[in-house]
Amino acid sequence: MRRQSGFSLVELIVVIVLIGIIGGVLSMQLAPAIRAYLAVAERAALTHQADTALRRIVGDVRRAVPNSLRLGSNQCLELVPSSDGGRYRNDQDYQNGAQAAAFLDDTAVRHVFDVLTPFNREPVQGDAIVIGNQNPADVHGGVNVALVDAIGAPPAASMGERRITLQAATGLRVPEGYTGARFMVVPAAERTVSYVCDSGNLYRIARTDASLAPRCTVPANAPLLASGVSSCDFVYSANQGATQESGYARLHLTLSGKDEAVSLTLGAHVDNVP
């Protein structure tokens, strides 16, 4: 007769106990590495979110209308964004005679002017034209601001690239003493943009109208730029720079989540030459 072979119950229990001990040791060794990996992934995600948010703000700051930045508080930054700009004719075109009288100056309110430079993004009806803005109260209060009614070609190519007609109720008169002959275009959909930190979130709020006072309230369904905001601080100095027309903005943001936190600070110089 052949002898039968196999595992006894005791042997099986011993093997199970040994496997449990080995598994416990391995888990104790691997758990810190896994936690560290997850922590690094969480910090990377927070860093990416904070960096994206701050760079979005800096992008708007750098394309803002000169002297339009203002603070409602250290957690509320407001500005007037621009979509393009150019140079306007600032005197009569004597070479082409009276028909070329589409210029702007400081002697009268006018509603038609020739643009001497090409556009990257051509203005459309309802966009705003801003000239010679010297302080936030002007552009946010509608001073030296007019709305586009139509845009087309001038009567002759030598007169300029385009001819802009302004709405009858909002003509332009160049501020006295301003000789830059430059204008900025503000899109109708974003007459003002506010960045507001509220209840652990950072919002970018675009409005189609202007206001003399900063608006730091968050409307319903406001676009969310970043979440998990545990610290937010905006600092702006209009005259901090090499000249009196060079401002400086400092933006600080701390994001937290899953027992991790990331703090980023970004600065941007602001060209306030109108």
With 0-12 / 13-18 / 19 or more C-beta atoms within 10 angstroms meaning exposed / middle / buried, residue 202 is buried
Which backbone phi and psi does 153 adopt, to 5 degrees?
-90, 145
Q: In which domain, by residue range, is 113 found?
A: 84-186
- Are residues 64 and 198 both part of a single domain? yes
Q: Which of 192, 251, 253, 201 is nearest to 222 (CA)?
A: 201
Rounded Cα gap, residues 111 and 253, in angstroms: 44
Considering 157, 186, 215, which residue would you say is the last residue of a domain? 186
- Are residues 67 and 106 both part of a single domain? no
The answer to whether position 14 is within a domain reads: no
E-assigned strands of the chain? 70-73, 76-79, 84-87, 112-115, 128-131, 145-152, 162-166, 182-186, 192-198, 201-207, 224-227, 229-237, 246-257, 260-271
The answer to whether position 29 is within a domain reads: no
The answer to whether position 34 is within a domain reads: no
In this prediction, residue 241 carries a pLDDT of 46
The sign of the dihedral angle between the CA atoms of 58, 272, 146, 115 is negative
The pLDDT tens digits along the chain (274 residues) read 566 566 677 777 878 888 888 877 777 776 676 676 667 788 889 999 999 999 999 999 999 999 999 999 999 999 999 999 999 999 877 666 555 668 999 999 999 999 999 999 999 999 999 999 988 999 999 999 999 999 999 988 888 899 999 999 999 999 998 999 999 999 999 999 999 999 999 999 999 999 999 999 999 989 999 999 999 999 998 874 455 578 899 999 999 988 889 999 999 988 888 8
- Are residues 115 and 173 both part of a single domain? yes
- Are residues 120 and 66 both part of a single domain? no
The answer to whether position 74 is within a domain reads: yes
Express each pLDDT in 116-174 by its tens digit.
999 999 999 999 999 999 889 999 999 999 999 999 999 888 888 999 999 999 999 99
Express each pLDDT in 119-129 by its tens digit.
999 999 999 99
Considering 152, 186, 220, which residue would you say is the last residue of a domain? 186
Q: Which of 150, 159, 65, 145 is nearest to 112 (CA)?
A: 150
The answer to whether position 30 is within a domain reads: no
Instruction: Look up the pTM and report it.
Output: 0.82
- Are residues 176 and 200 both part of a single domain? no
Provide the CB-side half-sphere exposure for 58 (13 A, CA): 16
- Are residues 153 and 194 both part of a single domain? no
Rounded Cα gap, residues 112 and 263, in angstroms: 50
Question: Which tokens go with 101?
Answer: 């009288």
The answer to whether position 10 is within a domain reads: no
Query: How many domains is the chain built from?
Result: 2
